[in-house]
Amino acid sequence: MEKTRSVDFGALTLKDALDLATLVEEEAKDRYEELGDQMEIHHNPEAATFFRWMRRIESKHEDQLAMRRAELFGTAPRTVRREMIFDIEAPEYDEARAAMTVREALGAALRSEEKAFAFFDAAVSQVRDAAVRALFEELRADEAEHQRLVQAEIDKLPPDPLVRADDEGDEPVAQ
Partner 1 sequence: MTTSPTLPTFQAKDFKSDLKPIWCPGCGDFGVVQAIYRALSAVGRPPHEIAFVSGIGCSSRIPGYTTAYGFNSVHGRALPIAQGIKLANPDLLVLVAGGDGDGFSIGGGHVPHAIRRNMDLTYIVMDNQIYGLTKGQLSPTSPKGLKTVTSEYGSLEEAVNPLLYVLAYGANFVAQGTPADMAGLADIIERAIRYPGFSFVNVQSPCVTFGEEEQQVKAHRANMKTLASVGHDATSRIAAMDLAQQYGRTLHTGVFYENPTPPTTMDGLVRERQQAQVGEAKPRARVLERFIQK
**Least separation in angstroms between CB 108 and partner 1:** 10
Assess 65 for contact with partner 1 (CB under 8 A).
Answer: no
Q: Can you tell me whether residue 141 is helix, strand or coil?
A: helix
Surface-to-core class of residue 130, CB atoms within 10 Å of its CB (0-12 exposed, 13-18 middle, 19+ buried): exposed
Give the whole-angstrom CA distance, residue 36 versus residue 46: 10
Assess 79 for contact with partner 1 (CB under 8 A).
Answer: yes
Q: Which residue, 11 or 70, has its beta carbon nearer to partner 1?
A: 11
Assess 98 for contact with partner 1 (CB under 8 A).
Answer: yes
- Pick the stretch among 35-43, 59-67, 117-125, 138-146 that binds partner 1 (CB under 8 A): 35-43
CA-based nearest residue to 57, from 119, 149, 134, 141: 149
Judged by CB under 8 A, the residue of 1, 152, 162, 163 near partner 1 is: 1
Q: Tell me, rounded to whole angstroms, the distance of Cα 40 from its chain centroid.
A: 20
Q: Can you tell me whether residue 17 is helix, strand or coil?
A: helix
Judged by CB under 8 A, the residue of 46, 63, 92, 138 near partner 1 is: 92
**Least separation in angstroms between CB 23 and partner 1:** 11
Q: Would you give the binding string for partner 1 spanning residues 115-154, x where CB under 8 A is met?
A: ----------------------------------------
Cross-strand bridge partners of residue 85? 4
Q: Which backbone phi and psi does 18 adopt, to 5 degrees?
A: -65, -40
Question: What's the 3-state SS for 43-63?
Answer: CCHHHHHHHHHHHHHHHHHHH
Assess 7 for contact with partner 1 (CB under 8 A).
Answer: yes
Q: Give yes or no for a contact between 164 and 102, defined as CB atoms under 8 angstroms apart.
A: no
Assess 175 for contact with partner 1 (CB under 8 A).
Answer: yes
Contacts with partner 1 by CB under 8 A lie at: 1-8, 11-13, 16, 34-35, 37-39, 41-42, 79-84, 86-87, 92-98, 100, 171-172, 174-175
